[in-house]
Amino acid sequence: MRIHEIIREKRLEQKMTQEQLAEKLGVSAPAVNKWEKAASYPDITILPTLARLLGVDLNTLLSFKEELTKEEVDQFIGELYQIIPEKGFQAVYEMGMEKLAEYPTCDYLWYMTALTLQGAVMMFVPEEYESYNEKFEKIYEKLTDSKDVEIAEISKQMLFSKYMSNKDYEAAETLLNSIPKKHVNVNQLRANLYKEQGKLEEAGELYEGKLLTAAQDIEMAMMGLMDIAVEEGRIEDAEYILKKAQALVDIAEQWEYGKYSNEWDLAYLTKDIPRCMKTFEGMMREVEKMWELPKSPLYRYSKRKSEDSSFWEQMKKSLVQWVREDAEAGFLRESPEFMDMLKKYE
């Protein structure tokens, strides 16, 4: 974001018209209009006053701290996640917010920080999720105007999920209509290009990434169909779809946890307590194995990142806490057998 964009964005945030800003600065409204169109620039002598009126410092106004590189952002995000167990979520949240204040125009930093902190609050302090959720929502709202098309679209998807969970279907549909339909898969074309250029490792990594995301997309679609089958009372069809989804986990060599979590969904929807017990224990066993991407011909080129053991421990705690606190899990809490089983993981 350049100075003309910053002037316009911050002026609107301060709820000032061009005329009002011009009057406070002692210049004409057409001059402000030209600044915002990058047709001219403010005189250097009025920059301190302009920054103060816009509620920013000179560094921000002049974009001296406009961007971090992707590598710098990724390093910062990794550091954030590593220190959560030691310093606690609130301290890490404050570190994230300080970094955002330092780099207010670095959309990739804002996106990755929001995504990381949102996942962390669900993992480490799920009981406080709602109190933080509105803050994350505001970040995603800001990013819907990002010039990075991918960040803008993913931010809209995050807001869509929020509206759906709030049953605000009108807002969800309005947002959905603003997301352009994708007709071109750039990564697929790029992988084809790399392959023809002899850049086989780069092509392989892209193909493997597409395999992972495609398998996850298909699995999510199957789970949606399974939910519909249960809603319509077609339990036999739901079981059929579940088996296909579980087979997909094997075909794509994904985490075995998915087999149990998908079956858990069906058991949960049908309130089958013995099956809930079996699948919950299966999920816990898989979490304890601390999964990472398999060393397989399907994933020869993908970069592997091992999670710290504290991540998996926290995941187990979160699953237990969800059962104990979720409003719709009351039927499980009423089962002495299930609650006795749950104590093994506390």
> Which pLDDT belongs to residue 327?
82
Q: For residue 164, what are the contacts with CB-CB under 8 A and spacing of at least 6?
A: 172
Query: Tens of pLDDT along the chain (346 residues)?
Result: 567 888 888 899 999 999 999 999 889 989 999 888 888 888 877 888 888 888 887 767 765 555 788 888 988 998 888 888 788 888 899 899 888 877 877 899 999 999 989 888 887 887 788 888 888 988 999 999 888 888 988 898 889 888 888 888 888 888 888 877 765 677 887 899 899 999 999 999 999 999 999 999 999 999 999 999 999 999 999 999 999 999 999 999 998 999 999 999 999 999 999 999 999 999 999 988 877 888 889 999 988 766 666 777 878 888 888 888 888 899 999 999 999 999 988 7
Q: Which two tokens stand for residue 33?
A: 């209009």
- What are 18-60's pLDDT values in tens digits? 999 999 988 998 999 988 888 888 887 788 888 888 888 776 7
Are the C-beta atoms of 53 and 13 separated by less than 8 Å?
Answer: no
In the chain, domain spans? 3-61, 70-177, 201-343
Of all residues in the chain, the percent with pLDDT exceeding 70 is: 95
CATH number assigned to the domain covering 3-61: 1.10.260.40
Q: Which of 266, 246, 268 shows the shortest CA–CA distance to 258? A: 246
> Which pLDDT belongs to residue 128?
82
> Which pLDDT belongs to residue 183?
57
- What are 133-154's pLDDT values in tens digits? 888 988 999 999 888 888 988 8
Contacts 24+ apart (CB under 8 A), 1-6: 1/63, 1/66, 1/105, 2/38, 2/63, 3/35, 3/41, 3/61, 3/62, 3/63, 4/35, 4/36, 4/37, 4/38, 4/41, 6/54, 6/56, 6/60, 6/61, 6/63, 6/105
Cβ neighbours around 21 below 10 Å, total: 22
- What are 97-137's pLDDT values in tens digits? 888 877 877 899 999 999 989 888 887 887 788 888 888 98
> Which pLDDT belongs to residue 177?
84
* Single-letter residue type at 54: L
Does the CA dihedral 274-279-284-289 come out positive or negative? positive
Distances (CA, A) of 83 to 57, 77, 88: 30, 10, 8
Indicate the pTM of the whole model.
0.65
Are the C-beta atoms of 14 and 53 separated by less than 8 Å?
Answer: yes
Q: For residue 18, what are the contacts with CB-CB under 8 A and spacing of at least 6?
A: 11, 29, 32, 33, 36
Number of H helices, E strands in the chain: 19, 0
**Nearest 10 degrees: Cα torsion 318, 321, 325, 330:** 110
Tell the residue number behind the tokens 């087999």, with chain if given: 259
